């Protein structure tokens, strides 16, 4: 099964279980289950190459800084070759 198919299957199973639990469980137990599912879902998503929005933003900032550093180095290199 392809990665996307596995991920979609997992999401569908989770949705079914949440619907089933929410019909038969009181609110405090739902929160416990929700936290456990969130942790397991995050682990699965990360194993499939996904990152959280916070991690994405941090990576985007790092990439921008690296691009700026490379540009500066390229400018310095072109100036030193010109001399």
pLDDT of residue 24: 66
DSSP 20-80: HHHHHS-HHHHHHHHHHHHHHHHHHHHHTT---HHHHHHHHHHHHHHHHHHHHHHHHHHHH
Residues 6+ apart with CB under 8 A from 34: 18
Q: Are residues 3 and 35 in the same domain?
A: yes
Angle (CA) 11-16-22 rounded to 5° is 120
pLDDT of residue 63: 96
pLDDT of residue 1: 45
Q: How many CB atoms lie within 10 A of CB 33?
A: 15
The domain in which residue 75 lies consists of: 53-83
pLDDT of residue 65: 97
From first to last of its 83 residues, the chain has per-residue pLDDT tens of 456 677 778 778 877 777 776 666 666 777 777 788 888 888 887 888 888 888 889 999 999 999 999 999 999 999 888 76
Q: Is the pTM of this model over 0.85?
A: no
Q: Are residues 20 and 45 in the same domain?
A: yes
Q: Are residues 46 and 58 in the same domain?
A: no
Q: What is the domain count for the chain?
A: 2
């Amino acid at each position: 099964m392809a990665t996307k198919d596995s991920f979609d299957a997992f999401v569908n199973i989770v949705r079914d279980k949440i619907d089933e639990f929410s019909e038969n469980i009181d609110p405090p137990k739902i929160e416990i289950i929700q936290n456990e599912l969130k942790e397991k879902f995050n682990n699965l998503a990360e194993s499939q190459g996904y990152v959280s929005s916070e991690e994405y933003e941090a990576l985007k900032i790092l990439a921008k800084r690296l691009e700026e550093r490379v540009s500066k180095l390229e400018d310095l290199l072109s100036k030193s070759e010109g001399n």
